[in-house]
Structure 1
């Protein structure tokens, strides 16, 4: 009960505050869009830049940590893609979008604050290692597969497809922040204290603004239709992904406690808003992904509580 009250509920209370403010007209759709644009395009990239620039690269990138988490993620994709394609007879492009919802957990807006509240700031090294390759890898995979599904038979060359994927991935503010963080970290470039003070001001606004804005965004996602498909996505995100991650982390790689916590808690998060944005970008699977984001986010209150009880 302590984990629920002290760790999980404060995070979801901020989301609920944003949801209620939008629901009762105290925060307009335009304001929600502006806040999310600030958070996702500026504040959160600053947070990632700061974290990656100062991350101990030699100790953060543990093979077992990354394999455990991403094996679980791609297991979630496989379940959702196969179920959508062959169980529910969805078109190939729909199946890719629905698979992406089972792949892309909310590692940043939910995974970071819940891990920090549960285990402290010093426990976030593994989270940042996962997040640093999360968007580039998963967006690259999703976009590549979707472009292949859309252009089958059109003779698009591998070079043209690669350029298309590269432009889509590396134009994202989150990826730009991560890339700049790596550049500073690897180069050892000394930056003035005033610069870091400004960055720190932005980073302190990142998570609260993003969580509040997420509540407003979730108001727009109406759970309707496709119940079985939505239930499949929720199960893949909240059970399959963290379950595979926990099994590999404990039985195959025997991860140390800090790495185990980062991997499993991050894997246990609901699909991120990016799952809907990906579907919206291609105009397929939007209703399933929107509903899955909303319903799985609500259900994750209980599932995350369960995983925190299981972890040491």
Structure 2
């Protein structure tokens, strides 16, 4: 158990350091934004490219991986939505935000570093494949459901599905993670190799992804205090940290995923909620405090639940 926490605790200590530097004013809030931009647009794409360019897939299909993970998402999202509507008596818009907050894992900024620490390269391959469709699929689902809920609660028309898909597709074509994934797969399938000098540069940038990502997410947490709707926020947080990884674990086992892929999926599903849930809430001006509270609660208690899953998988 102690060896597991040796790998898990440093991840959350780096998040805490980031939070403290922003909270005390040692570094400005804009610095955290800049670090986040660097991670998302340069460091993590380099890590994904390097991982996939040298990966050995051995005929493994991504569809079982996607099925295992997104069944976990669907069950957790649906549970959160139903609890918000029928137990806490919230409207449809809050139901969508509750479900999304309970199932939108912070795969890029926390999941990747965690899997890199605990599982290693084969786990990073699994996460890279997941990231290919995770953000676009989750954002499409969240946007469509919020459009429908807003129309139902506030009245008025809603955008058509083709319009939503067009917007998401345009964003996807410019997404650095997707571009890195495509280039990595092309290099792999064509048997190409980087020169020694370029490989050194890519490796150095990739190595920066984990610590900088964790520091930046810690700095970002100063914007998401725990306030209001504590009952529903706490419930969504419990679903995120317990139900979602449990379902992903069960689905991975039933679908016969490789051990390292199972570990990577379960660990990344157990990490705190990502800020995209808050971005959806902010865009539709509903449930901002709920999403913000879930982000903070899951980050505060994530070290315990992530440590449990890491121990169980070991």
TM tier relative to shorter chain? 0.7 to 0.9
3-state SS of 2:306 partner:
helix
Query: How far 1:102 moved relative to its partner?
Result: 1.8
Q: Which runs of 5+ in 1 are unaligned?
A: none
Q: In 1, distance between residues paired with 2:190 and 2:77?
A: 36
Residues 1:96 and 2:96 aligned together: yes
Match of 2:274 in 1: 272
Query: How far 1:151 moved relative to its partner?
Result: 5.4
Q: In 2, distance between residues paired with 1:181 and 1:90?
A: 44
3-state SS of 2:223 partner:
coil
Query: How far 1:34 moved relative to its partner?
Result: 1.5
The answer on whether the counterparts of 2:51 and 2:121 sit within 8 Å (CA) in structure 1 is no
The answer on whether the counterparts of 2:123 and 2:260 sit within 8 Å (CA) in structure 1 is yes
Distance change in 2, residues 1:171/1:4 (3 Å): same
Residues 1:175 and 2:178 aligned together: yes
Distance change in 2, residues 1:59/1:138 (3 Å): farther
Residues 7-156 of structure 1: pairs in structure 2 closer than 5 A: 7-57=7-57, 59-150=59-150, 154=157, 156=159
Residues 100-249 of structure 1: pairs in structure 2 closer than 5 A: 100-150=100-150, 154=157, 156-186=159-189, 192-249=195-252
- Higher mean Cα deviation, 207-216 or 75-84? 75-84
- Higher mean Cα deviation, 118-127 or 39-48? 118-127
The answer on whether the counterparts of 1:268 and 1:307 sit within 8 Å (CA) in structure 2 is yes
Work out which of the residue numbers 249, 254, 261 in structure 2 matches 1:259. Answer: 261
When the two structures are superposed, what TM-score results if normalisation uses the length of structure 2? 0.87
Query: How far 1:158 moved relative to its partner?
Result: 3.8
The answer on whether the counterparts of 1:60 and 1:125 sit within 8 Å (CA) in structure 2 is no
Q: In 2, distance between residues paired with 1:233 and 1:223?
A: 13
Query: How far 1:286 moved relative to its partner?
Result: 1.3
When the two structures are superposed, what TM-score results if normalisation uses the length of structure 1? 0.88
Q: In 2, distance between residues paired with 1:265 and 1:98?
A: 21
Report how many residues are paired: 311
Q: In 1, distance between residues paired with 2:126 and 2:242?
A: 21
Deviations 1:95-151 (A, max 9, x none): 223322122112232222223322333443323222232222222222233334445
The answer on whether the counterparts of 2:96 and 2:145 sit within 8 Å (CA) in structure 1 is yes
The answer on whether the counterparts of 1:60 and 1:126 sit within 8 Å (CA) in structure 2 is no
Distance change in 2, residues 1:301/1:175 (3 Å): same
Deviations 1:195-221 (A, max 9, x none): 443332321211211111111111221
Deviations 1:14-53 (A, max 9, x none): 1111111112111111212221122223222222233334
- The runs of at least 4 aligned residues of structure 1 exceeding 6 Å deviation read none
Q: In 1, distance between residues paired with 2:93 and 2:216?
A: 29
Residues 1:299 and 2:293 aligned together: no
Query: How far 1:60 moved relative to its partner?
Result: 4.5
Q: Which runs of 5+ in 2 are unaligned?
A: none
Q: In 2, distance between residues paired with 1:89 and 1:7?
A: 41
- Higher mean Cα deviation, 6-15 or 177-186? 177-186
Distance change in 2, residues 1:124/1:171 (3 Å): closer
Q: In 2, distance between residues paired with 1:280 and 1:94?
A: 12
Q: In 1, distance between residues paired with 2:78 and 2:32?
A: 33
